[in-house]
Amino acid sequence: MGTTETGIVSGRLSPAEYDRNFSDLHPSLDEHEALVASDRCYFCYDAPCMTACPTSIDIPLFIRQISTGNPIGSANTIFDQNILGGMCARVCPTETLCEQACVRNTAEHRPVEIGRLQRYATDIAMRDNVQFYERAEPTGKSIAVIGAGPAGLACAHRLAVKGHDVVIYDAREKAGGLNEYGIATYKTVDSFAQKEVDYVLSIGGIEIRNRQMLGRDFSLNDMLSKHDAVFLGLGLAGVNALRAEGETAAGVEDAVDFIAALRQSETKSDIPVGRRVVVLGGGMTAVDAAVQAKLLGAEEVTICYRRGKDNMNASEFEQDLAASKGVTIRHWLQPKRILTRDGKVAGIELDYTALEDGRLVTTGETGVITADHVLKAIGQTFEADDLGAIALQCGRIVVDAEGHTSLERVWAGGDCVLGGEDLTVSAVAMGRDAAESINRALAAATQPVVAVA
């Protein structure tokens, strides 16, 4: 039975409603559906879908393998480029990547369902615990990977395949990074993130040390003295401040913390949510927080974004998903002041905004939305102590085309680097490519020196 209580409370829904609301958004295709979906592919030469994939998976090949009844071979094709292909199949915004580029994506036709086909093949291989990779002969080299998110895991796996020993250090309780603590619950059900971590680790040669934080429990110099190379996959641990009066009132919460708590909850019934929720921001985090607040039983959920619809980082698909779940999205509104009663959120006053000569300005008009819960999703920031002399720009780590930082023997990838796209699949691509670069550098360093007469 639901509750009509106002304020931020847990248990607004019945157990059955929680189960229904947080079930799989796009359940796996069955065999027949996969064969029908794969049959729509033209197996293009020079396939544009493949170019649009940050990990360059051979999409026509893996779809052909499904269509010929070989899902295991298909999974092998996917994992060769992207060992986290299972998670990417669930979370990639395919509508702006491979499926947008698909030649079948026309006014009359839908694109080939590349994401769902990828999930079909990888789910079968993981379910049957099919192992595709063996480690090369041990090289005797050891690499520290700091951060067990998609970038760190992809880097560690590729290094382990090459025969190196890897130690992953991560600040949190569990490995997986935002796959475990950030991705919306309905995109990754049944502890899939942990199952995928186990699958990645089953290659051997990778040790994970949790609750180990760079800058608190060890330094970069410690790592450089213990290991032959270091990879930084630190993600974005900080959040931007609202800089609006009342920000510290009870009921104002970071959207990433709200989502992390939700992801760690077994039943969801223990996660408190307001009756009227305002989410500030225009990206994927804002949409995920808003949709999940609604699914937790909030009555009214409004996303306020300071620019127009076309400027939102959340894709069209995400925006439609929010609308379909009853979330209202309002544009050209920027927070001015959190209104409080007895120290608790009672509403939010917002400035109307507009573009003037390309600059965002407030128009002088304001409006108020009643709310008891305000979720801030206004962007994350890179936070890391103890990076020594590593060059940063715009608050992120500068790397070259191979992921090498300005410091010798230190590479980086994923959200923490400048130019990252803040997508799971891009983090995987950067981690994998940095591993190849580390492997080349270590191999070059062990080449015998040839004396020149």
Ligand X SMILES: Cc1cc2nc3c(=O)[nH]c(=O)nc-3n(C[C@H](O)[C@H](O)[C@H](O)COP(=O)(O)OP(=O)(O)OC[C@H]3O[C@@H](n4cnc5c(N)ncnc54)[C@H](O)[C@@H]3O)c2cc1C
| CA nearest to 156, candidates 222, 229, 226 | 229
| CA nearest to 303, candidates 331, 324, 272 | 331
Type of residue numbered 210 = N
In the complex, the smallest distance separating the C-beta of residue 12 from ligand SF4, rounded to whole angstroms, is 42
Q: Which of residues 234-293 bind ligand X (CB under 6 A)?
A: 234-235, 237, 256, 259, 284-285, 288
Look at residue 259 and give the partner it binds from ligand SF4, ligand X, none, a contact being a CB closer than 5 to 8 Å depending on partner kind: ligand X
Instruction: Return contacts of 186-189, CB within 8 angstroms, 24+ apart.
Output: 186/21, 186/22, 186/23, 186/24, 186/25, 186/291, 186/292, 186/295, 187/25, 187/90, 187/91, 188/87, 188/90, 188/91, 189/22, 189/23, 189/24
Element at 208 (helix H, strand E): strand 206-209
Cβ-count burial of 1 within 10 angstroms (0-12 exposed, 13-18 middle, 19+ buried)? Answer: exposed
Look at residue 418 and give the partner it binds from ligand X, ligand SF4, none, a contact being a CB closer than 5 to 8 Å depending on partner kind: none
Q: Which of residues 153-182 bind ligand X (CB under 6 A)?
A: 169-172, 177-178, 182
In the complex, the smallest distance separating the C-beta of residue 1 from ligand X, rounded to whole angstroms, is 30
In the complex, the smallest distance separating the C-beta of residue 215 from ligand X, rounded to whole angstroms, is 5
What residues contact residue 163 under an 8 Å CB cut-off, 6+ apart?
A: 135, 136, 137, 138, 139, 205
In the complex, the smallest distance separating the C-beta of residue 68 from ligand X, rounded to whole angstroms, is 29
Query: 65 or 437: whose CB is closer to ligand X?
Result: 437
Look at residue 420 and give its three-state secondary structure. coil
DSSP 359-399: EEEEEEEEEEEE-SEEEE-S-EE---S--TT--EETTEE--
Look at residue 149 and give the partner it binds from ligand X, ligand SF4, none, a contact being a CB closer than 5 to 8 Å depending on partner kind: ligand X
Residue 314 as a binder of ligand X (CB under 6 A): the answer is: no
Q: Please report, as ranges, the residues that interact with ligand SF4 according to CB under 6 A.
A: 41-44, 47-49, 59-60, 63, 102-104, 112, 114
Q: Radius of gyration of the chain from Cα atoms? A: 23
Among 48, 163, 215, 379, binds ligand X (CB under 6 A): 215
Query: 294 or 336: whose CB is closer to ligand X?
Result: 294
Type of residue numbered 403 = G
Whether residue 146 contacts residue 214, with contact meaning beta carbons closer than 8 Å, is answered with yes
Query: 148 or 252: whose CB is closer to ligand X?
Result: 148
Q: How far is CA 270 from CA 8, 23, 147, 262, 451, in A?
A: 11, 17, 29, 9, 69
In 191-231, where does DSSP find H-type helix? 192-201, 220-226
Q: Which of residues 127-146 bind ligand X (CB under 6 A)?
A: 146
Q: How far is CA 331 from CA 308, 324, 351, 420, in A?
A: 5, 18, 11, 26
Q: Which of residues 426-445 bind ligand X (CB under 6 A)?
A: 427
How many residues sit close enough to ligand X to count as binding (CB under 6 A)?
Answer: 39
Q: Which of residues 393-422 bind ligand X (CB under 6 A)?
A: 414-416, 422
In the complex, the smallest distance separating the C-beta of residue 314 from ligand X, rounded to whole angstroms, is 10
Q: Which of residues 53-112 bind ligand X (CB under 6 A)?
A: 91-92
Look at residue 415 and give the partner it binds from ligand SF4, ligand X, none, a contact being a CB closer than 5 to 8 Å depending on partner kind: ligand X
Number of C-alpha atoms within 13 angstroms, CB side, residue 344?
9
Query: 41 or 126: whose CB is closer to ligand SF4?
Result: 41
In the complex, the smallest distance separating the C-beta of residue 113 from ligand SF4, rounded to whole angstroms, is 9
In the complex, the smallest distance separating the C-beta of residue 217 from ligand SF4, rounded to whole angstroms, is 46
In the complex, the smallest distance separating the C-beta of residue 184 from ligand X, rounded to whole angstroms, is 6
In the complex, the smallest distance separating the C-beta of residue 86 from ligand SF4, rounded to whole angstroms, is 19
Look at residue 126 and give the partner it binds from ligand X, ligand SF4, none, a contact being a CB closer than 5 to 8 Å depending on partner kind: none
Interface residues with ligand X (CB under 6 A) are 91-92, 146-152, 169-172, 177-178, 182-183, 187, 213-215, 233-235, 237, 256, 259, 284-285, 288, 384, 414-416, 422-425, 427
